[in-house]
Amino acid sequence: MEALAETVRRLSASSRRTYQNPYEAIAWPDDLDRRQWFTSPQFVSLYGTPAWESLDDDRRKELSFWEAVNFYSLNIHGEKALMEGLAHRLYQPGMEAVAEYLHHFLDEENKHSVWFGTFCTRYAGKVYPDRKVVFPRDHAEGEADFLFFAKVSIFEEIVDRYNVAMGRDDALVPVARQINANHHAEEARHLVFGRRIVQELWREWSGRWPDEVVDGIRSYLTAYVEATWREYYNPDVYRDAGFSDPWKLAREAWDHPATQGHRAAINRSCLRPLRQVGALEAP
Amino acid sequence: MTEPDVREALRSWIAERNPELPPGEPADDTRLIERRYLTSLQVADLLLFVEELRQQPIDPASLRPGVFRSIDAIHSAFFS
């Protein structure tokens, strides 16, 4: 953990320097015309599929609104689990060296959830429900902490690819562009921290774990990557956008070569840190 | 769908994700989680599959502990 100390000091100083009031960072219109882009077309889950081709421009924009509600909803659920895990690890023995930054991480995640929750409740009147379930299980020493930060890293790396592109997309309605840009600005620090702590925990523990634990971690993280991506193909979105068989559409969209290519391209860069340390195998 | 159709669809869904399953598994009362035929990361996908079989959404907040324990339990919770 000592190797992380300099990174923690640098990231904490940056968090304090750019500290922002979440209630002033975004300009919230009273209401929104849905005939605008809320998600960049290439990040709409149906992009490149026959269903996308069948839609006219207004319906594509309406779909892009519900896709934004889903993207923000899955961020809310991801950040809830993240905040629980961060709070649990504050001043935990072995985590003292990073406690200073965990405070900032926790604070910033809470702010992000304010933005995501405000958009969903104000403009859609709801947050899409979370279908994830956790079964309790035993872990080897050090395994739970490693898996927690590895999952955070996977989740946030994927989200950030969307944020970076959509934070710069002038075609997006300003409130959506601001949410993505502001989220990326703070997530950039979280990604640096995530990569470093995953590297450090793997270096510290992997040599002490028996082979079956290491193999189990690799299998689990591979399954976690797929489960994370599955949330981007949400039948609730397709139902709200007016499709008649949303579950079939979700399956077809998931299986389509265009979406497989999209996920593979993003995975290549997002999963590199975990592949480099050996916690994930190359595809 | 008839009850046997639903049970068979659930059995096939589990079997597809566990190619090493012995013949006849999972039975209707096989403990899916204890036997590791069903992992926590697969539950969201299974829930969508159950929704599709029912052609009706399920509120995840309404899920009670044990609903994914076995094919019997899944059938009883969502199709009875």
Tokens (6 digits) for B6: 């639903």
Domain assignment of residue A82, given as a range: 2-20+56-277
Q: Is residue A283 very low, low, confident or very high in pLDDT (cuts 50, 70, 90)?
A: confident
Task: Please give the average per-residue pLDDT across B54-66, as a whole number.
Answer: 92
Number of domains chain A contains: 1
* pLDDT of A225 strictly over 90: yes
- DSSP summary character for residue A121: I
Task: Pick B65 or A141 by higher pLDDT.
Answer: A141
Is A133's CB within 8 Å of B61's CB?
no
Tokens (6 digits) for A216: 């189990």
Q: Is residue A91 very low, low, confident or very high in pLDDT (cuts 50, 70, 90)?
A: very high
Q: Residue A1's pLDDT is what?
A: 64
Buried b (16+ CB within 10 A) or exposed e, B8-44: eebbebbeeebeebeeeebeeebebbeeebbbbbbbb
ipTM above 0.85, yes or no: yes
- Does residue A47 fall inside a structural domain? no
- Does residue A40 fall inside a structural domain? no
Task: Please give the average per-residue pLDDT across B60-72, as a whole number.
Answer: 93
Pick B41's closest partner by Cβ from A227, A239, A247: A227
* pLDDT of A2 strictly over 70: no
* pLDDT tens figures, B13-55: 999 999 999 888 999 999 999 999 999 999 999 999 999 999 9
Is A131's CB within 8 Å of B60's CB?
yes
The percentage of chain A sitting over the pLDDT mark of 90, rounded to a whole number, equals 91
Contacts of B68 in chain A (CB under 8 A): 133
Tokens (6 digits) for A112: 């992000």
Sign of the dihedral through C-alpha A43, A46, A48, A53: negative
Dihedrals φ, ψ of B4, to 5°? -60, -35
- Does residue A176 fall inside a structural domain? yes
Interchain contact A136–B (C-beta under 8 A): no
**Residues 11-70 in B contacting A (C-alpha not used; CB under 8 Å):** 33, 39-45, 47-49, 51-52, 55, 57, 59-61, 63, 68
CB-neighbour burial class of residue A39 (10 A; exposed 0-12, middle 13-18, buried 19+): buried
Q: From residue A56, how far is each of A35, A37, A41, A66 by CA, in Å?
A: 11, 13, 13, 16
Q: Is residue A260 very low, low, confident or very high in pLDDT (cuts 50, 70, 90)?
A: very high
Q: Which domains does chain B have, with CATH numbers?
A: 3-78 (1.10.1200.10)
- Does residue A247 fall inside a structural domain? yes
**CATH number where A149 lies:** 1.10.620
Chain A closest-CA separation from residue B77 CA (Å)? 16
Task: Please give the average per-residue pLDDT across A203-214, as a whole number.
Answer: 96
- Token pair 């490693």 is found at A146
- Does residue A171 fall inside a structural domain? yes
CA A109 – CA B71 distance, rounded (Å): 38
Sign of the dihedral through C-alpha B19, B23, B24, B30: negative
- Does residue A121 fall inside a structural domain? yes
* pLDDT of A45 strictly over 70: yes
Instruction: Give the E-state strand segments of chain B in sequence order.
Output: none
Q: Residue A282's pLDDT is what?
A: 79
* pLDDT tens figures, A130-180: 999 888 889 999 999 999 999 999 999 999 999 999 999 999 999 999 999
- Does residue A209 fall inside a structural domain? yes
Contacts of A132 in chain B (CB under 8 A): 40, 43-44
Amino acid at A277: V
Instruction: Determine the angle formed by the axes of helices A143-167 and A174-205, rounding to 10 degrees.
Output: 150
Chain B interface mutation, best of A70, A74, A131, highest count of B Cβ atoms under 10 Å: A131
Tokens (6 digits) for A276: 């480099």
CA A263 – CA A105 distance, rounded (Å): 27
* pLDDT of A252 strictly over 70: yes
